[in-house]
């Protein structure tokens, strides 16, 4: 069996603005951005790397297509989400302040966790829920 790689995917009504914001607020970097018609994004890959390794998210513009009937930005469906990415960061306090300064809605401020590490959760400009923390489950 080969190693599995999990890459969260998201849809945004204003994907170009979301890409800029995710890079500025959270520290993602553009890996691949494929423009779509009328200023949309057909597909984008953003990477995130730190001392713990690297990861990726994929995103695109919300569309009224078959996949769009199954995945929409949280603001389109009233706000609740059924899943959210957790991203390991070197310094949760500094990362939270960066996100807050960029306008992220901090849902849970940085706090120590019973299982170890420090964590905070926030919503991005279109309501996706994100958690960032120092706890690395691969390190125990």
Cβ proximity of 133 and 89 under 8 Å: yes
What's the topology of domain 9-65+83-133? 2,3-Dihydroxybiphenyl 1,2-Dioxygenase; domain 1 (3.10.180)
Note down pLDDT in tens along the chain; length 140 residues: 567 778 999 999 999 999 999 999 999 999 999 999 999 999 999 999 876 668 999 999 999 889 888 888 888 888 888 889 999 999 999 999 999 999 999 999 999 999 999 999 999 999 999 999 999 988 86
Domain ranges of the chain: 9-65+83-133
């Amino acid at each position: 069996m080969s190693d599995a790689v999990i890459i969260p995917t998201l849809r945004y009504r204003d994907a170009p603005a979301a890409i800029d914001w995710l890079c500025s607020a959270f520290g993602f970097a553009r890996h691949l951005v494929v423009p779509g018609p009328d200023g949309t994004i057909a597909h984008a890959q953003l990477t995130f790397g730190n001392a713990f390794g690297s990861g990726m998210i994929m995103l695109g513009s919300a569309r009224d297509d078959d996949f769009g009937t199954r995945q929409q930005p949280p603001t389109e469906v009233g706000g609740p989400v059924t899943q959210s990415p957790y991203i390991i960061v070197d310094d949760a306090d500094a990362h939270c302040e960066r996100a807050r300064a960029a306008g992220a809605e901090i849902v849970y401020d940085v706090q120590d966790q019973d299982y170890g590490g420090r964590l905070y959760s926030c919503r991005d400009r279109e309501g996706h829920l994100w958690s960032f923390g120092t706890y690395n489950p691969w390190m125990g």
